[in-house]
Chains A and B, each alone.
Chain A
Amino acid sequence: MSYGDDTTVIARTVARITLPLVLVVAIALLFQGHNLPGGGFIAGVLTTAAFALVYIVFGMEYVQETIFGDEYEPAGSVAGPLVVDRYRTLFGVGLAIAAGTGLGAMAFGKPFLTHTDEVVKPSTEYVAWIPGADFIFGTLFEFHWATAFVFDIGVYFVVVGGLLAILAVVGGE
């Protein structure tokens, strides 16, 4: 028996092709979110859309049995199936990360939620003889880190966890 027997070949094929694309776009949006359009919320919504596609095409059992390796159980108990529990934990962890970045700033004596960022460039002092060193080390390896990114990851988890929990509970009924 395979999953998704009751959907068409077209739906299954399209889902296989679009799924990675959607996820890549979601991650790209997540990574640029701290200083360009994008961010944790929209990336989370896209990821959830990808999961919703899997739900529709391959069914709830597929996600529960293949991805998480759980026994499939339909919704019904008060807390819902185990997978809802997992999503809820993800939601909590995401919130903890987001709040944690805010609290981290307080350890440095700054107000809650203060963020910082810095552009790091490796020194080209010892590798200046390599042709194009400035470009390779100065531009390609230039790294702009921002604590706001960690906050965004927290938001991402919150959105993914929350929306998937809603989908699993309402969809399971």
Chain B
Amino acid sequence: MATEQVVVAPLLVALVTAILTLVVHRYVRVQKVVSALGGLAYVGAVAMLIQRVRSGAGSHGVEGVLTYQLSEWGAPFGITLVADDLSAFMLGLTAVVSLLALAFSIQYVDEAGQRVSYHPLYHFMLVGVTGSFLTADIFNLFVWFEVMLMSSYVLVVFYSGPQHTKAALQYVVLNLVGSAFMLLAIGGLYSTTGTLNMADLARRLADPASFGISLVPVLGLSAVLFVVFALKAGIVPFQWWVPAAYRAAPAPVSAMLAGVVKKVGIYAIIRLYFTVFANAAPMDLSLPGVVGESTLAFFGPVLFIMGAASIILGGVAAVNRDNVDDLLAYSSIGQVGFIVIALAFAAGGVVAGWEAPDPYGSVAVLGLAAALVYSLNHALAKAALFLASGAVYESVGSIEFDDLGGIAGRMPLLSTGFFVAALSLVGIPPLLGFFGKFLVFDAAVNAGSNLGIGLALLGAILTIAYVTRAWNRGFWGERSEAVEQATPQYGLFATVLVLAVVALGVGVAFDPVVDAAIDAANAALGTGDYIEAVGLEESLTSGGGGH
């Protein structure tokens, strides 16, 4: 079987770009060109990979799941990369946001800043994100997380003045402790199950008796791991680092952090809890308020509570902020709550086997598809809004609402971009946000969760409230003095507008997106295919023998 080099292509493109920008760092102009070309090549590589996965190419006779063994070491000992519909969906989202945020930063970050190390760090962050989406090895996931986080530490600190050092320090220390916990959980999982490969882990958990695995510690360790992912995704009660870090980071980095890096946490939750841990053999769970036999019976309620709290806290706090970045940061806590609550419905669907109308088939698929579409919407819209905030800062010199007002008349291009992205966040048809919210509601209805419907409704109302407030105070009304004297940066406005147009375009041509999301949801739930495609070495399976 020919090796599918296309699987590793996005990773390598980002890596090579990072190295090249590092080598040519003395020549700012060359570095910019290399960086931009690298961003384009990344989009190309991701497009090739998506095309390959969507056309049904696969490994070990499984359609649509491509695997790749680094260094030609066979699974489960070598590091496996897996590209299935879920990974492809997330990579597609990353490619769009990263290219536009890069185009924005080339104009936005000043010369001295670009010269030091902005571009290599940006591309290393992309390497980390790509690796996290592709890997099928939990320790390797830790390594990619670290690559991503190390770059993000420096990028957050990078542009910040003295007033932000404390926020940066908080972000770094918090994530370092989080990493230590991730290591603990991985070590524990390895010691209880004897493997690090996700496919092997899923296979062993399904048959604990013959591998001598006790499932109870696995549940506890997976809960520790869950805390780490929740921290990365910024879900309540692990949300408090979010506003300070987003305020400290330069706008394009905030756009990447909110749009893409948060989604890595979401992806890890989907991949590990729906593909791997959900495959565990039935066990007796008797915790307060939790009844069921699957690990998801435990994580479902947890996801629901955390998602609900995020929606309420993020939404309420966002209404009353006095600058644009703070508002967007709290809003992104609330929006991630929508994603998580959709995951909770999906978990409930897996446990109870609820039916849903075609083309979904089950609430599990519907909930996951809703979470994915909502992730895509949040990535596009929130990235556009953060970039718009950066463009306002660059033009007007402030993002405090007290200094703003009447931008719509002064800078119509930017205002259009902001308006469309904001409407997508609210969920007005035919924008992508409408479909995202619609799917979340659909999942809630099919799950029969009145509380869920109520929460989603409350979240939607809060979204309308804070988006309207931002629009009224910043873009409408009397022109403030600062806005009157602003120097519009049309290059920056164009980037914002392009992202908004993408959100509009994806909404208008929604059919392929929803198909991709449904396939991704099925891929996340298709543990059997996942295990088979990885092709674990035959001679080294269970000690019991039988082959």
Interface residues of A (CB under 8 A from B): 78-79, 85, 88-89, 91-93, 95-96, 99, 103, 106, 109-115
Contact = CB atoms under 8 A, between A and B. Distances in A.
Contacts of B12: 99, 103, 112
Contacts of A106: 5
B16 A115 contact: no
Contact of A111 (B19, B22, B68, B120): B68
Contacts of B116: 78-79
Contacts of B112: 78-79
B81 to A, nearest CB: 9
Nearest to A112: B8
A96 B112 CA distance: 24
A108 to B, nearest CB: 10
B71 A114 contact: yes
B37 interface: no
Interface of B is mostly: helix
B71 A113 contact: yes
B22 A99 contact: no
Nearest to A88: B25
Interface of A is mostly: helix
Contact of B26 (A78, A85, A109): A85
Contacts of B19: 92, 95-96, 99
B22 A114 contact: no
B8 A92 contact: no
Nearest to A113: B71
A96 to B, nearest CB: 5
A89 B27 CA distance: 12
Nearest to A78: B112
Interface of B: 2-3, 5, 8, 12, 15-16, 18-20, 22-23, 25-26, 68-72, 112, 115-116, 120
27 contacts: A78-B115, A78-B116, A79-B116, A89-B23, A91-B22, A92-B25, A92-B120, A93-B23, A95-B18, A95-B22, A96-B19, A96-B20, A96-B23, A99-B12, A99-B16, A99-B19, A106-B5, A109-B3, A110-B72, A111-B5, A111-B8, A111-B68, A111-B69, A112-B8, A112-B12, A112-B71, A113-B70
- Closest CB pairs A-B (n = 7): A92-B22, A92-B23, A113-B71, A114-B72, A78-B112, A95-B19, A112-B8
Nearest to B111: A78
Nearest to A95: B19
A112 B26 contact: no
